[in-house]
Structure 1
Amino acid sequence: MRQKLQQALVSTAAPLLQDGERPEVASGARINMSIKANLAWGAASAILTGGNWVTTGDDKQCYVLLTDRRLLLLQSHWLTFRPVAKVLAELPRPSLVVTDVARGLMTSFTVSAAGHPDAIRLSFALTERGESIALLRALGAAA
């Protein structure tokens, strides 16, 4: 991730951090809904429209900030793709579980909180490979 954008992410997230909380890894990523949530969304849209229309969730650009206490997913601006101080998801770091690590042109893995059925699939572009490896190592997964 470019240094300037990384600094913008950390400064945008600064008001959201707790006292003494330190950012460790900052990166851009794409998130997608869990399969179960996507199916539920599709079924609900089909029921509400009488079967005339089915909607499914798609990938969404976001920013990932791993601190010493939690994992924050921050929204990106719809036009400039710069980080916005709106939290899409917040997961406590001690309970994070990483599964389904896939490497190729894109690095992707699923992260969830232990004991919760919902999971978030994070996908990192080739330009974010260094940050994705740093994030996997920080979370204790095999990089």
Structure 2
Amino acid sequence: MRTSTALLLAAGVYAVGLVRREVHERRRQELGMADMHQRLCADTAARYAGEYGTDEQSELEKALSIHANRTLSLVGAKYRVGQLSDKALRLVARSMMTKPSMRLYWAEHSAGRDEESQTRVDRRFHAIMDAEYDDAHTPSK
């Protein structure tokens, strides 16, 4: 009886360790992908800003759009790995949506970003960002 209990306990501890390693690995990969995306956006801003966006946009609008994309990517990565709670994300999103360039970027690209959402956390991130975008357009009472 004692041996079987000890073996069951050891198996449980091992399983918990596996789950924790998996969570840690996913977070590490997420941060690695966010870093790669940030470098891609920096490269785009430095070399290809003229080709980014639409022909109707000025160079400044294209640069602001790239900056908004980088900012959303960073905030999204921080949220996905647990560095931002829902409450903290709401505060950050509210601040972000005070910027006209961020509101414009979100208006143009939120549907596409939402379609790319693969996890519950991604969908929650977009729901919070959408709510703050909507609040930014609602006149105060």
TM-score normalised per structure 1: 0.27
Which TM-score applies when normalising by structure 2? 0.27
Q: Which is richer in strand? A: 1
